[in-house]
Amino acid sequence: MTPLPASLYVGDIAHMRHHPVRHALRYRAMSILADIDGPHRASRQSRLFSFDRFNLLSHFRRDHGAPGADLRDWVCAVLEREGIGFKPGRIQLLAAPRWLGLVFNPVSVFFCHDEADQLRAVLFEVSNFHSGRHAYAFPVDPETTGSLRFACPKAFFVSPFNPVEGEYRFRLDRDANSLRLGIQLFRDGECVMGAVHLARARPLTTQSTARALRAIPANTITTVFGILLEALRLRLKGLPTFAPRRGSTDTMPESL
């Protein structure tokens, strides 16, 4: 897999809870794929999108990684921590953009390529409503074709309806036209819940961005409202909650 051009992704996110109660939620969402630095970083492709500068839609590097750290340095530190040894070249970030300065990204994806432009690692950055962030990173065999599949223990508080227990299983499919990201949480051999993001890729142009904004006029608010509505409905169904560990890494961004 090689880097893709800066792109706009528009599609649906679906959440499915299987145990101990059944529940489902679906909403529209918009994401942008762009290089975090270097000569390929998106600029002037859409007058409605900027990187590290206020616009109707924008990516800011400080919204990711460790506070005060250079984003590339943070990605490299996470890869080293996980024993993924190669020198990163282009690093692309897939994330929901800021909308008029507002943003919340439950999951952001970093595609880490080597200096030959081969995908060598994928990093999933998970965020919660307590301003906590945590990264799960996985090596990728450059000869891999088809779906990318990863698994790891859950190590970070996300939902008040799930303790920090179990195993995440990731499946990622992407090409020049589409993206499918699936995440499942297994506990005691049973799938407790899952989420799927299905989206179509569009060129990151002013015209395509304007069309996406007409279809999803308040991207951040749509995401946050959907999550809060799901929480309310689950609480009304009697699902028990689990408090985060206050003052721990579950409620604070990671540091280098």
Instruction: Indicate the average pLDDT of the chain.
Output: 86
Cα end-to-end distance, the chain, whole Å: 28
**CB 21 within 8 Å of CB 237:** yes
List, edge to edge, every strand of the sheet that includes 107-114: 133-139, 119-127, 107-114, 88-95, 23-35, 7-17, 190-203, 178-187, 167-174, 148-153
Burial (Cβ within 10 Å: 0-12, 13-18, ≥19) of residue 199: buried
Cα→Cα distances 38→41, 73, 80, 137, 184, Å: 6, 14, 21, 22, 34
- How far apart CA 20 and CA 18 sit, in angstroms, is 6
Instruction: Tell me how far apart the alpha carbons of residues 145 and 85 are, in angstroms, rounded to a whole number.
Output: 21
Predicted pLDDT at 91:
96
- Model pLDDT, residue 143: 82
Q: What is the pLDDT of residues 96-124, one digit of tens each?
A: 998 888 888 889 999 999 999 999 999 99
Q: What pLDDT, in 10s, does the model give residues 10-28? A: 999 988 888 777 777 888 8
Domain locations in the chain? 7-239
Whole-number pLDDT of residue 214: 85
pLDDT digits (tens), the chain, 256 positions: 788 989 999 999 988 888 777 777 888 889 999 999 988 887 667 889 988 889 888 999 989 998 888 999 999 999 999 999 888 999 999 999 988 888 888 899 999 999 999 999 999 999 887 778 899 999 999 888 789 999 999 988 787 767 888 999 999 999 989 999 999 999 988 998 899 999 999 999 999 999 988 888 776 677 777 777 777 776 777 766 666 655 555 555 565 5
Q: Is 21 helix (H, G, I), strand (E, B) or coil?
A: coil
Cα–Cα distance measured from residue 122 to residue 136, given in angstroms and rounded to the nearest whole number: 8
**Helix and strand counts by DSSP (H, E) for the chain:** 3, 13
